[in-house]
Amino acid sequence: MDTMIFSFITIALYLGGAVFKGMQVAHKMHSPKDALGKILIAVALVTHAISVYGVVVSSDGINLGFFKVSSLICLFMGFLAFTAILRDKPIDSLLVILFPLATISILLSEFMPTTSEPLDHLGGSLIVHILLSILAYSVLTIASMQAITLLIQERELKKHHTIGLIQWLPPLQTMEGLLFDMIWFGIVLLSGSIISGFVFFDDMFAQHLVHKTVFTLIAWLIFAILLWGRHYLGWRGRTAVKWTIGGFLALMLAYFGSKFVLELVLQKV
């Protein structure tokens, strides 16, 4: 069966899930034991995985082009979010953003032209590095979404708005604790990605890698300073949000900045 069919099934499930989660947020219908909702998310992730496999893996090798990787990262984000939901973590509101984002990534991966040549010489060590990198980016992207939600929640509480989204979200302290849990997990994965890069590549500062290496190290430093500030200076609230978003922007430039310039601007495949 053509994997494009699975792409459209996934899009339908994601859009339906976004509408349903949006209604939950609007009407405070939170149901952590909603078995049907979890089953639908699981089915969407399976069909998304089949879709990603169809656009990334071919007889010519593995295609890690700009749009293909975007869909793969959204898939990883979906699995991480689903794992958190199974553990009853309060991240349901993030799905309202994640589902439409994943839908866009699937459409782009299916219909935008291929921006890079398939790779047929990926060794085990390189695959480990790529997986660690994608996992780190996925976790820290979800953390940035959590940070934005936290910022909105804090602003609304200061205005004494206690209805709508604020009424549905968990307490501010719970949301903040979850944010730092994500950042800790993300920086561990990012550290593994950086270490594996220096171990497996002969020169991480070679011309085609220097941009990614520098911005990845900057992102790691930003998140490390944030965790240090949290532990020793009690950073929280807006300060934590600003550092989180700053680290995410550096990471986004590392993972997508160079690919965007090389593949879409300069068209070097």
Residue ranges of E strands in 10-117: 57-58, 61-62
pTM assigned to the model: 0.82
pLDDT in tens, 10-30: 999 998 888 877 776 666 555
Q: What is the pLDDT of residue 225?
A: 97
Q: Find the Cα–Cα–Cα–Cα dihedral 210, 212, 216, 217, rounded to 10°.
A: 0
**pLDDT tens figures, 122-160:** 666 778 888 898 899 999 999 998 899 888 888 877 776
Residue type, position 215, single letter:
F
Task: Using alpha carbons, list the distances in angstroms from residue 151 to 146, 179, 244, 247.
Answer: 9, 11, 11, 16
Chain-centroid distance, C-alpha 242? 18
DSSP 119: B
Q: Does the pLDDT at position 180 exceed 50?
A: yes
* Rounded CA separation 146/170 (Å): 12
Model confidence pLDDT, tens digit, residues 90-116: 777 788 888 999 999 999 888 877 766
Q: In 10 A of CB 208, how many CB atoms?
A: 10
Give CA–CA dist 262/160, Å, rounded.
48
Mean pLDDT of the chain: 82
Residue type, 167: Q
Helix (H, G, I), strand (E, B) or coil at 85: helix
List the structure tokens of 192.
């593994």
CA 162/CA 83 separation, integer angstroms: 29
